[in-house]
Amino acid sequence: MRLCLLSLFLAMIMSLNINPVYADMPFYEDDEEFHHCTKISDWDTCVREETLRDLNDVKRLYQNILGNPQILKWHKVPAENTEILRDMYESWTAFRNRLCSLSNKAGMYLERLVTEKYACAAYYTKHHKDHLERILELMTGKVPQKRDDFKFLALTSHDEEYAECAANPEKRNCVDEELQRSATYIKDLYKTFSMDEFVGKWNNGPDLSQGNYRDMYDSWIAYRNRICALSVWAYQNAYGPDAITLNQCLQYFNREKIETMENLLYSAHSSLDIGDEEDESVDGPEQIDYSLLPKDDGGEAEGKTIEPLQRRIDASINREADVMDVAKPAEKPAESEEAEQNKPQKPSKNIPSWAQ
């Protein structure tokens, strides 16, 4: 029985590492180069090389989106589109790097059983590539005539309060209310992580006002708001103004975020805890030697490998006020010199360096 439970648990954790979001998200298959690589090299090397190929595809997609004439219907000034997409790329990169660092910390107990060191970066690079491909399909008209047949940013599950709201014929803003609830819950999850004994020190800062959790939250909000602004515009441009609302897109990403954070917290507090005196040797082909695993330092060592954000990206959508007043941790007053240094540089009229 114990062996069966362990096998089931490991299978679940491995699935989280590969696809750490809702079950309705697509499964990303490996490319042919990856399969060829595994015949002559180790798994981690092959995953890393595949991730670099996908990252090149991501940059190519940014080029194609910026080079598509339809983009001028979004903002008529090319430099504005370039700046927004540059911020989207940089905030996505910052968020992904921090999330995957935390993921490595949360899964450290399983390090000798799940050896896919680069699985997190590989998944989120493919995931971002998938979103950009969908946006470009909308811009080029390569989509089904019926919008319901284009499964992109589709909300297929809601919380219990939403069901109660939808049952009331007088209610019209059920997604808006759900967005507010999910935004509050996400902030609560960040507080839980920052105060958690196992992953609290990963923050490498005093509290949520400064450190890795603050940087991860800020960069995720900036990325989410920008990709939703672009996605909703592309959706409405293809299918009309009633195709999707901005808050539906924001809730889609909020729901995804909640599932990811909950999975990480579950992984960090798995049944494979180090130092369990009552634990006996695990039956199976390979026993787990807990003495060889890293000692629990609260994630401090892992957290110190993350460089603090040098530039704060404004999280507003299309340079307007934040949608739904999704609160961020309180900003510390910036010194005038620091604020000047953090100002975004004027983008070039050509393809920016980050997308080359």
Give me the percent of the chain exceeding a pLDDT of 90: 45
pLDDT given for residue 17 in this prediction: 42
Place of tokens 């107990």: 109
pLDDT given for residue 41 in this prediction: 87
How many C-beta atoms surround the C-beta of residue 314 within 10 A? Answer: 14
- Residue 3 confidence class, pLDDT cut points 50, 70, 90: very low
pLDDT score of 192 more than 70: yes
Measured between alpha carbons, how far is 90 from 276 in angstroms, rounded to an integer? 42
pLDDT given for residue 289 in this prediction: 52
Question: What confidence tens digit (pLDDT) does each residue in 36-48 have?
Answer: 898 888 888 898 8
pLDDT given for residue 157 in this prediction: 86
- Residue 301 confidence class, pLDDT cut points 50, 70, 90: confident
- Residue 225 confidence class, pLDDT cut points 50, 70, 90: very high
Q: Is 18 exposed, middle or buried (0-12, 13-18, 19+ CB in 10 A)?
A: middle
Looking at per-residue pLDDT, the higher value among 107 and 263 belongs to: 263
Question: What confidence tens digit (pLDDT) does each residue in 75-87 have?
Answer: 999 999 999 999 9
Q: Are 265 and 192 in contact (CB under 8 A)?
A: yes
pLDDT given for residue 119 in this prediction: 85
- Residue 18 confidence class, pLDDT cut points 50, 70, 90: very low
- What is the average per-residue pLDDT within 118-136? 93
> How many residues would you count in the chain?
356
Measured between alpha carbons, how far is 262 from 189 in angstroms, rounded to an integer? 8
Give me the percent of the chain exceeding a pLDDT of 70: 71
Measured between alpha carbons, how far is 105 from 157 in angstroms, rounded to an integer? 29
Residues 173-201 as b/e (b if ≥16 CB within 10 A, e otherwise) read ebbbbbbbebbebbbebbeebbebebbbb
- Residue 344 confidence class, pLDDT cut points 50, 70, 90: very low
pLDDT score of 351 more than 80: no
Question: What confidence tens digit (pLDDT) does each residue in 172-189 have?
Answer: 889 999 999 999 999 999
Q: Are 203 and 194 in contact (CB under 8 A)?
A: yes
354: left (phi over 0), alpha (psi -120 to 50) or beta: alpha
Token digits for 70?
């339809």
- Residue 285 confidence class, pLDDT cut points 50, 70, 90: very low
- What is the average per-residue pLDDT within 144-167? 90
Looking at per-residue pLDDT, the higher value among 137 and 13 belongs to: 137
46 phi, psi to nearest 5 deg: -70, -40
pLDDT score of 159 more than 60: yes
Q: Are 105 and 17 in contact (CB under 8 A)?
A: no
Segment of 26-35, 132-141, 258-267 carrying the highest mean pLDDT: 132-141
Measured between alpha carbons, how far is 287 from 269 in angstroms, rounded to an integer? 20
- What is the average per-residue pLDDT within 90-97? 96
pLDDT score of 23 more than 80: no
Q: Are 258 and 183 in contact (CB under 8 A)?
A: no
pLDDT score of 71 more than 70: yes
